[in-house]
Amino acid sequence: MALAHGLARRGRSVTVLDEGDVAHRASRGNFALIWVQGKGLALPAYADWTVRAATLWDDFAAEIGELTGVDIAYARRGGFHVCFNEAELAERARRLSRLQTQLAAAPVCEVLDRSAIKDRLPAVGPEVVGGTYCPADGHVNALRLFNALHEAAEVQGIRYVPNAAVSEISPRARGVSIQTKLGNIHAHTVVLAAGLGNARLAPMVGLDAPVRPQRGQIMVTEKVAPFLDYPLSTIRQTDEGGVMIGDSQEEVGFDSGNSSRVLGAIAARAVRTFPLLAQARVVRSWGALRVMSKDGYPIYDRSTSVPDAYLVTCHSGVTLAPIHAKVLAHHIADGTWPDDFMPFSAGRFGNVPQVG
């Protein structure tokens, strides 16, 4: 939806074909962080890209708010990651400093000892020895963002078509013909942004999208009085008071269920972080499937065999939403594809995209 928003802003007439409510929708189940801290060590271009995305969030949130009047509870005051022992803290500090030296414009992360952490997160428990803070991190209300992007689509005249699973994409003399459950549509440009569905769709335009589901489990507590001013990598208090706690990284295929074993471990860690959470009752829990590439980074590609066919897939859809809308979508709308995007091509996995 962020891409559709960006394309429409650039004057393109946009139709969104959506699979429907059966879809594995990361945008509904995610943890809602805008997160930069520690990302991109193996792909410097991504470290830079994600920092730019976070910075663009200020404008993007304002734009969506003005268009729709929906309050997405955007807050970017920085985020924390806490550690339970000195070795873990030292390792994390080392990684962050390596990342810092790689980047031209890196946000200055701080490594904090216990007393410094306690100043800003007064509720931390005795087992927390320290942690790291990155001023670029933040969070939103993910469900309201989902709603706001749909509202914004309507305001901008984007045609949203649910229950239109795509079965075939065929190149035509000009553009492509897309066969859906509801009939065929013709488009000048096609952007595959179907998350896990891209693995199936990519070959139809001569591309490759090696993505797999990776499950994360999340729980949310009853609404409690505010006690946490900043998001942590795995715990955040929402604008409405509920505390979201995540997350696991499980390779279980397309099973988006949850399990008490994993949730118990997640809860135990949360209580070690903030002992007062032991008193909070959990009201809901769920599993959601991340869209994971082999290295965890996004895949952006333009087809060489089918003109004006693009592929966009990523984990971190919340963090990257503004840069997808304001940078990636603009290049797609204009038909330009800068070299900056080359590091994000699926070609990096060593598979030459099939020409077909």
Q: What is the CA radius of gyration of the chain?
A: 21
Of 100-108, 129-137, 220-228, 327-335, the segment contacting other proteins by CB under 8 A is 220-228
Considering the rule CB under 8 A, would residue 143 count as an interface residue with other proteins?
no
> How far apart are CB 77 and other proteins at their closest, in Å?
19
Considering the rule CB under 8 A, would residue 239 count as an interface residue with other proteins?
yes
| Cα angle for residues 76, 42, 353 (degrees, 5° grid) | 110
Q: In what order do the strands lie in the sheet with 299-302?
A: 190-192, 309-313, 299-302
User: Angle, nearest 10°, between helix axes 86-102 and 44-68?
Assistant: 90
Residue placing its CB nearer to other proteins in the complex, 90 or 278: 278
Considering the rule CB under 8 A, would residue 123 count as an interface residue with other proteins?
yes
Give the whole-angstrom CA distance, residue 27 versus residue 144. Answer: 10
Residue placing its CB nearer to other proteins in the complex, 124 or 134: 124
Considering the rule CB under 8 A, would residue 69 count as an interface residue with other proteins?
no
161: three-class secondary structure by DSSP? strand
> How far apart are CB 227 and other proteins at their closest, in Å?
5
Prior bond to 247 cis, omega within 30? yes
Of 12-20, 29-37, 40-48, 216-224, the segment contacting other proteins by CB under 8 A is 216-224
> How far apart are CB 335 and other proteins at their closest, in Å?
45
> How far apart are CB 32 and other proteins at their closest, in Å?
17
Considering the rule CB under 8 A, would residue 58 count as an interface residue with other proteins?
no
Using CB under 8 A, pick the residue from 58, 66, 222, 229 that binds other proteins.
Answer: 222
Residue placing its CB nearer to other proteins in the complex, 161 or 276: 276
- List, in sequence order, every beta strand (DSSP E) within the chain: 15-17, 33-34, 79-83, 110-113, 130-134, 138-139, 159-161, 166-171, 176-180, 183-187, 190-192, 211-221, 235-237, 243-245, 282-293, 299-302, 309-313
Enumerate residues 6+ apart whose C-beta is below 8 A from 216.
Answer: 29, 31, 246, 247, 248, 249, 250, 287, 288, 289, 290
Torsion of CA 215, 219, 225, 229, to 10 degrees: -20
Interface positions, 79-98, toward other proteins (CB under 8 A): none
Using CB under 8 A, pick the residue from 165, 199, 224, 262 that binds other proteins.
Answer: 224
Give the whole-angstrom CA distance, residue 340 versus residue 38. Answer: 21
Of 26-34, 138-146, 238-246, 265-273, the segment contacting other proteins by CB under 8 A is 238-246
> How far apart are CB 274 and other proteins at their closest, in Å?
8
Considering the rule CB under 8 A, would residue 227 count as an interface residue with other proteins?
yes
Residue placing its CB nearer to other proteins in the complex, 223 or 348: 223
Residue placing its CB nearer to other proteins in the complex, 42 or 278: 278
Interface positions, 258-287, toward other proteins (CB under 8 A): 276-281, 283
Give the whole-angstrom CA distance, residue 200 versus residue 198. Answer: 5
Question: Do residues 259 and 226 make contact, with C-beta atoms less than 8 angstroms apart?
Answer: no
Question: Do residues 232 and 273 make contact, with C-beta atoms less than 8 angstroms apart?
Answer: yes
> How far apart are CB 303 and other proteins at their closest, in Å?
45
Interface positions, 14-53, toward other proteins (CB under 8 A): none
Interface positions, 151-180, toward other proteins (CB under 8 A): none
Q: Tokens for 299?
A: 């895949």
Considering the rule CB under 8 A, would residue 75 count as an interface residue with other proteins?
no
Note the residues at the interface with other proteins (CB under 8 A).
123, 222-225, 227, 239-241, 276-281, 283
